[in-house]
Amino acid sequence: MAETAQQPPDNAEPAAAATEPTDDLVTTRHTIALADGELSYTATAGRIVLRREEHTDDKFDGAKATAEVFVTAYTADSEDPAARPVTFAFNGGPGSSSVWLHLGLLGPRRVLMGDVGALLPPPYALADNAQTLLRHSDLVFIDPVSTGYSRPVKGEKPKDFHGYGGDIASVGEVIRLWTSRNGRWMSPKYLCGESYGTTRAAGLARHLQERYGMYLNGVVLISAVLDFGAIIFSGGNDEPYALYLPTYAAIAHYHGKLADRPLRDVLTAAEAYAAGDYPQVLARGSRLSAAERTAAAERLAELTGLSADYLDRVNLRPEHIRFLTELLRDRRLVVGRIDGRFTGWDTDYGRESWSADPSMSAITGPYTAALNHYVRAELDYSSDLPYEILTDRVRPWSYAEFENQHVFVLDKLAAAMRTNPHMRVHVDCGYYDAATPYFAAEHAVAHLDIPPELAANVSYGYYEAGHMMYLHEPSRLAQAERLARFVSATPG
C-alpha cells in the first residue's frame, strides 16, 4: 500500500516565471517484507532541473535551466538518515537509462522475466526484491540526459550532454544537488556503475573530488570498461583478441563445444594462453612459420570451439561478433553478446555477423514493460514522453577529451584513490559477458597507478552469467550479498 504526496520543488519560481522549468518530484511511501522484518521507505521520482551559472561582461546573470534529469530515489525510514550510506547508480550505453540496475539488482522491486531456456511471456511481472541494497544503503538512480525521461530544456543543445565531459558534469551536478538538498554530505557515499557506467563512475570519482570536494567511500564497477583499447577491435590493435579469449572459452564451454571439462579448468587454460603464447603469436604476424601458424590455430580451436580452418582463415584473430555468429552456425543459432548463454535465430546462416543480439532481444521487452508500469502504478509519476530504455539518440557521443588516443579513465580512478586512500573499489565480472570481458577488466585494473599499500582496496566478484549477471538467479543472490557487504564496509 503506497501513500502519495506531491513534493514542492526546492527551486520554485514566482508565478510570473511560469515558463521556467521546475522540479516535478513525487513522493510515495512503501513497505517491503524482508527475512528479518519489514522495511519502510520513501520513494521519490521525478525530474531535477539542472542550471548553468551565466555571466555577461563579468557580471553574474543568474542561473539558466539547461536540462531536466529523471531520478528515482529510495530512502529507508531511519532515526538518523545521515548515518546511512547512499549509493548513486547508473547504467551505461552510452544511451542507457538506469532501468537495468534499478529493476534487476539494486532496487526494492524487480522484474520477473525468467532466464535462458525458461523466459516468461508478455506482459511479465514485478515482485518485491528481498535482497535490495536498500537494506544497507539509500539509493539514487540517475538517467543521464536523453535517457529515461531526462531531456535538455527548450533551447539547449542535446550534444552538450552527449559526450564524456558533458555527461560527467551533468551527472555530477545531480549528485551534488541531491546530496545537498537531502542533507547527506556527512553520509557514506558510493557510486555503482555498469558497463559505460563504469567509465562514468571512474571519471566521476575524480570529478566530484576536484569540482566539489566530495570524497567517496567506494565505487562499484559492474562489467567494467576502463581502457577502451582493451576491447575495441581495430587495425593494428591485437590486445582485444587475447583479452577476449577466456570469454570465448567460457561461452564455448557453456554451449558444449569443449567436451566435459570443469569451467574453471577451461578458464585457467585460456587465461594462460591469453597471457603468454597468444600475444606473442599475434605480434609475430607473417613471421610465423607454417608449422607455428598451424599449431596456433589448433590451440585456439581447442580453447574456443571454432574450427582450426576457420581460425586460420580469420588470421588467428576471431573478432567477437564473428565469434558469436560462427560458434553455433552448425546448429543454425547465433549467440548473445551481452550474455553468451542466450541464443537466437537469424535470417540466414551464411552471415559474417548476426543481425541482432539475442540476449538484448530477450531482456528489452520485460524491462521496458516493467518500468513503464512501475513509475505510473506504484511511484505515481506520469509523463507522456517515451521512457528511453536504451537509445541511439545520444550518438554521436563525443570523446573530445581523448582526441588522438583511445578512451582511458584508469588515470582518473587511480588519482581519486591516491587522493582518498579510504576509497574502495569493487569489480564484478560475468564469465559469459562478450561486451566487457572479465579478463580485460582484470588487465585494466592491474594497471591502476596506485601504490602497493592501496592494492587491498580493490576486490572482485565473478559470476557464471553475462554482462547483467543478475539475470541469472544464483548470480543475483550472490552479487546482492557481496554488494551488501561492500557498502556496509564488511570485509569479504
Query: Pick from 72, 69, 90: which is nearest to 23 by CA?
Result: 69
Question: Which grid cell is 3?
Answer: 501513500
Please check whether residues 56 and 201 belong to one and the same domain.
Answer: yes
Shared-domain flag, residues 25 and 164 = yes
CB-based burial label for 339 (10 Å; 0-12, 13-18, 19+): buried
178 and 119 assigned to the same domain: yes
Q: How confident is the model at residue 259 (pLDDT cuts 50, 70, 90)?
A: confident
Judgement on whether residues 313 and 345 belong to the same structural domain of the protein: yes
Query: Which residue did the predictor score with more confidence, 100 or 234?
Result: 100
Asked if omega into 21 is within 30° of 0 (cis), the reply is no
pLDDT of residue 336: 98
Domain boundary at 330, 356, 382, which? 356
- Strand 189-194 relative to strand 86-90, pairing: parallel
pLDDT at 490: 60
Q: What number is the average pLDDT over the span 253-275?
A: 96
The two most distant CA atoms of the chain are separated, in Å, by 82
Q: What is the CATH number of the domain that holds 420?
A: 3.40.50.1820
Residues 333 and 434 in one domain: no
- 8 A C-beta contact, residue 219 and residue 425: yes
Q: List the grid coordinates of 286.
A: 607473417
Q: Which burial class, exposed, middle or buried, applies to 471 when counting CB atoms under 10 A from its CB (0-12, 13-18, 19+)?
A: buried
Indicate whether 60 and 158 sit together in one domain. Answer: yes
- Whether 121 is in a domain gets the answer yes
The mean per-residue pLDDT over the stretch 217-234 comes to: 96
Residue 36: the pLDDT is 87
Q: Both 95 and 206 in a single domain?
A: yes
Mean pLDDT of 213-225: 98
Domain membership of residue 320 as a residue range: 242-356
110: Cβ contacts below 8 Å, ≥ 6 apart: 103, 104, 126, 127, 128, 129, 132
Average pLDDT, the chain: 94
Return the number of other C-beta atoms located less than 10 Å from residue 77's C-beta.
Answer: 12
Q: Which of 322, 356, 390 is the last residue of a domain?
A: 356
- Residues 51, 196: one domain? yes
Residues 399 and 342 in one domain: no
The domain total for the chain is: 2
**What does the pLDDT look like over 180-205, one tens digit per residue?**
999 999 999 999 999 999 999 999 99
3-state secondary structure 216-238: CCEEEEECCCCEHHHCCCECCEC
Q: Is residue 235 part of a domain?
A: no
The answer on pLDDT for 492 being more than 50 is: no
Question: What does the pLDDT look like over 426-454, one tens digit per residue?
Answer: 999 999 999 999 999 999 999 999 999 99
Residue 48 covered by a domain: yes
pLDDT in tens, 320-335: 999 999 999 999 999 9
Note the pLDDT of residue 53.
Answer: 87
Examine the fold and report which residue of 356, 386, 409 is the final residue of a domain before the chain moves on. 356
Asked if residue 116 and residue 59 are part of one domain, the reply reads yes
Q: Are residues 260 and 300 in the same domain?
A: yes
How high is the pLDDT of residue 123?
Answer: 94
Q: Estimate to the nearest angstrom the gap between the alpha carbon of 318 and the chain centroid.
A: 25
- What would the pLDDT profile of 299-317 be if each residue is shown by its tens digit? 999 999 999 999 999 999 9
Residue 431 lies in a domain: yes
* In-domain check, residue 82: yes
**pLDDT > 90 in the chain, percent:** 90
pLDDT at 382 over 90: yes
Question: Same domain, yes or no, for 273 and 417?
Answer: no
Does 459 reside within a domain? yes
Q: Note the pLDDT of residue 338.
A: 97
Which stretch of DSSP H or E encloses residue 33?
A: strand 26-34
Report if residue 249 sits inside a domain.
yes
* Domain annotation covers residue 86: yes
State whether residue 293 is helix, strand or coil.
helix
The CA radius of gyration of the chain, in Å to the nearest whole number, is 23
